[in-house]
Structure formats: structure tokens, C-alpha cells
């Protein structure tokens, strides 16, 4: 249905600079489409992460994600609707067919939706605006942030009902892979655990002894009486029932939209035993620095 309408390329030429090959973010107005309800505005983005902000949304917006060749292996896409995302539905275009991903009535800004993007076809995301009582050009803004994830940034199991990550402890094989493929690997202590019943998540406050690596600045330097130390927060599911525990842990996981999500988190002494056994048998997936 939406595919049979007229597509307005790059906002009728009003946003020609927005067609540059390195475009990551887009902000535009539905006014460019005029009053023709058949017109779908089209935007092309070339980065692996960015944002879309649609002011005075009209009938529909088609966002085509065309990452560069370096990122062609990235096959998972995650989008996070903005807090103001109301009165619209989100569709994914696959081989000319539209699949409903999210619709109004959810919890904007709190849900993340991930999906596979395999195959030779370009990935397109549709935003279809619903009519509002204050006229066809209601004064509102909607949009979303997006990420294209690769092997190192393993996507969380996110679906229409939110996070579905397993709460079971990692086995030895999963742990050895986690220290190689995670977005962050940190050794430290649990300072506090808080719970959010609305988001159905828990937040683990970590005092880091050593940050082996992190994709972004989730763990920041903090000044303390005993010296400088990094600290940060890691999200996990409320259903996992995480509790504060004594001793050192090795925290691994993925980063999405500026938030760290927990993967494997063994006690550090248990990790050492697993890693040293694998190293002796030459079964370790990668080399890991030991103190």
C-alpha cells in the first residue's frame, strides 16, 4: 500500500546536503511534502549509527540505511524510538513487503527493537503518522535512534515485547567468547543494585578495578580518597534478580544507545580458572591480559 505512493527523494531537493555519503543523522519537516497525502518523504543514511528527527510529521517517511562497504557485514539493526514518539507506526521493508515493528501505545524511549537485516536488499524503515485531532500538520516531533551491529557488538535478544536475554550463567565456552567479542570487559566490584519495575530492568553500579576495554565511555574516571578509579552502570533484566555480592567479578556485555547491558559476569577467580585451563589446552579464543 505505502509502496505504491509517490516517493519524494531527499526532501524535494530542499535537503540536498543531507544526501551526502557520510550522513548519519537527519532532521526534517513534513511541510516539504505539501498537502499531497500520496507522497512519502525519503531519506538515505550511510552510517552505522545515528538518529532521525521528523518535525511536523506528514503522511509517511521512508528511511533507507545504506552503510558503507566496511560495515557491510553488520546484519542486525536496533532502533530506539524517541520519548516523543507517539501517534505513529514503524514498519520494516523486506523485499518490497512491509512488516509491522512497533505501533503507538507502547512505552516510547524505553523499548529497543532489533531485527536481522540479511540478504541483498537495502534496508528501509517506514514511519507512518496517524491523523491527529489538531489537524494534518500537528505541532509534534517523532523519530528514533538506530544502530547497525556487527560481530563484536552482539545484539541483545530484543523483540516486540522488549528484552528476552537469558538469565542463566554463561558456560565456559560462552565465557571464553565473551572476553573476545564483548563491547566492554571490566573487572570490579558491585557497589549497589537498584530496580525499575516500570522498565522491568535492574541497574548494577560497578566500581572498576580495571577496564580492559570498552566501546564508548560507559565507565568514567572518578576521583576518590583512595585514588582515581572508574565506575559505571550496567543494565540487566529485572527477572534475573541480580543482587549485590562480595568479591571481584569480571563484567562483560554489549553497549546499545549509550547503555551497557550485562552479558557474562563470573567471579574473577572463577574466570581465571576457566581461562588458564583453556590456555593450557590451547582452546582459548583470544589472548587476555592477566595480572
**Three-class SS of residue 270?**
helix
Give yes or no for residue 2 having a pLDDT over 50. no
Inter-residue contact 146 to 74 (CB < 8 Å): no
List the domain boundaries for the chain.
22-149, 172-281
Query: How far apart are the C-alpha atoms of 156 and 287, rounded to whole Å?
Result: 25
Cα–Cα nearest to 204, from 154, 245, 255, 153:
245
Inter-residue contact 39 to 59 (CB < 8 Å): yes
Query: How far apart are the C-alpha atoms of 81 and 69, rounded to whole Å?
Result: 27
Residue 7: pLDDT band by 50, 70, 90 thresholds?
Answer: very low
pLDDT reported for residue 15: 37
Cα–Cα nearest to 27, from 147, 129, 136, 143:
143
Query: What residues contact 217, with CB distance under 8 A and at least 6 apart?
Result: none
**What is the distance, to the nearest Å, from the Cα of residue 100 to the centroid of all Cα atoms in its chain?**
19
Give yes or no for residue 270 having a pLDDT over 80. yes
Query: How far apart are the C-alpha atoms of 227 and 210, rounded to whole Å?
Result: 13
pLDDT average, residue stretch 60-81 = 73
Residue 268, H or E segment = helix 268-280
Q: Which fold has domain 22-149?
A: Jelly Rolls (2.60.120)
pLDDT reported for residue 148: 82
Sheet-wide strand order for 76-81: 26-29, 49-55, 141-149, 76-81, 113-116
More confident call, 133 vs 23: 23
The pairing of strands 26-29 and 49-55 is parallel
Reported CATH class of domain 172-281: mainly beta
**Three-class SS of residue 148?**
strand
The pairing of strands 113-116 and 49-55 is unpaired
Cα–Cα nearest to 112, from 99, 127, 102, 124:
102
The pairing of strands 249-256 and 184-196 is antiparallel
pLDDT above 70 covers what percent of the chain?
70
More confident call, 283 vs 17: 283
Q: Record the pTM.
A: 0.70
Give yes or no for residue 109 having a pLDDT over 60. no
Residue owning grid cell 583453556: 278
**Three-class SS of residue 24?**
coil
Pick the range with the lowest mean pLDDT from 17-21, 128-132, 144-148, 172-176: 17-21
Query: How far apart are the C-alpha atoms of 170 and 184, rounded to whole Å?
Result: 16
Amino acid at each position: 500500500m505505502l509502496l505504491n505512493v509517490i516517493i519524494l527523494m531527499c526532501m524535494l531537493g530542499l535537503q540536498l546536503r543531507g544526501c551526502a555519503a557520510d550522513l548519519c543523522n537527519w532532521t526534517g519537516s513534513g511541510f516539504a511534502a505539501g498537502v499531497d497525502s500520496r507522497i512519502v518523504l525519503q531519506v538515505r543514511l550511510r552510517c552505522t549509527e545515528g538518529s532521525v528527527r521528523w518535525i511536523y510529521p506528514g503522511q509517511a517517511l521512508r528511511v533507507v540505511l545504506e552503510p558503507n562497504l566496511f560495515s557491510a557485514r553488520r546484519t542486525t539493526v536496533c532502533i530506539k524510538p524517541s520519548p516523543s514518539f507517539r501517534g505513529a507506526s514503524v514498519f520494516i521493508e523486506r523485499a518490497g513487503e512491509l512488516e509491522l515493528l512497533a505501533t503507538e501505545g507502547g512505552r516510547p524511549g524505553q523499548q529497543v527493537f532489533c531485527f536481522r537485516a540479511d540478504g541483498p536488499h537495502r534496508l528501509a524503515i517506514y514511519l507512518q503518522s496517524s491523523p491527529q485531532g489538531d489537524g494534518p500538520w500537528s505541532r509534534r516531533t517523532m523519530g528514533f535512534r538506530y544502530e547497525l551491529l556487527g560481530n563484536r557488538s552482539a545484539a541483545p535478544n530484543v523483540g516486540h515485547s522488549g528484552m528476552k536475554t537469558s538469565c542463566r550463567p554463561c558456560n565456559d565456552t560462552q565465557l571464553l567468547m565473551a572476553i573476545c567479542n564483548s563491547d566492554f570487559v571490566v573487572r570490579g566490584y558491585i557497589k549497589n543494585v537498584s530496580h525499575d519495575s516500570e522498565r522491568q530492568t535492574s541497574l548494577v553500579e560497578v566500581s572498576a578495578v580495571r577496564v580492559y576495554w570498552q566501546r564508548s565511555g560507559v565507565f568514567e574516571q572518578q576521583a576518590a580518597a583512595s585514588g582515581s578509579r572508574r565506575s559505571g552502570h550496567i543494565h540487566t533484566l529485572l527477572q534475573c534478580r541480580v543482587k549485590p555480592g562480595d568479591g571481584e567479578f569480571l563484567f562483560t556485555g554489549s553497549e546499545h544507545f549509550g547503555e551497557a547491558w550485562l552479558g557474562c559476569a563470573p567471579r574473577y577467580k572463577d574466570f581465571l580458572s576457566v581461562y588458564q585451563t583453556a590456555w593450557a589446552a590451547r582452546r582459548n579464543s583470544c589472548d587476555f591480559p592477566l595480572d
